Amino acid sequence: MKNINTEYVISALSNTTRMRSVLLLLEQDELCVCELNDVIGGAQPNISRNLGLLRDSGLVIDRREGQWIYYRINPELPEWVSEILQAAKTGAIGHEPYKSDLIKLKEITNGTESKCRT
């Protein structure tokens, strides 16, 4: 694992869309852009741009499957980064918008609402 810059990690997590995306990825092993967009809302290009910044920071990795891009938390993160992410998740539980995000995520991943999982 390459060295992860502390400043890049903190900067990446300072944006609400990026933080919500990371928290959702901590909850669900892997999500595609459309699933994250369905949960978080807003413009899909905004979600994609923020996921790209998370990827560039080293926090997430991606894989392509056809037209879909799936993201997940980088499994090779240093322990200190994993601890920050877990602390953020613990602090967010029960608070908005994360609370609503989890409800939407369960609807999408447990149901047939996802467009990208066949």
CATH of residue 36's domain is 1.10.10.10
Q: Is residue 1 part of a domain?
A: no
Give percent above pLDDT 70 in the chain.
92
**Calpha distance 31→46 (Å, rounded):** 16
In a domain, 118, yes or no: no
Is 33 among the domain residues? yes
Domain containing 84 equals 6-108
Rounded to 5 degrees, φ, ψ at 52 are -65, -40
Q: Is residue 41 part of a domain?
A: yes
The predicted pLDDT at position 114 comes to 58
pLDDT exceeds cutoff 70 at 61: yes
Number of domains the chain is built from: 1
**Amino acid code (one letter) for 79:** E
Longest CA span, the chain = 39
Amino acid at 47: I
- Residue count of the chain: 118
pLDDT beyond 60 at 118: no
Instruction: Look at residue 54 and tell me if it is in a domain.
Output: yes
- Is residue 116 situated within a structural domain? no
Mean pLDDT of all residues in 74-92: 96
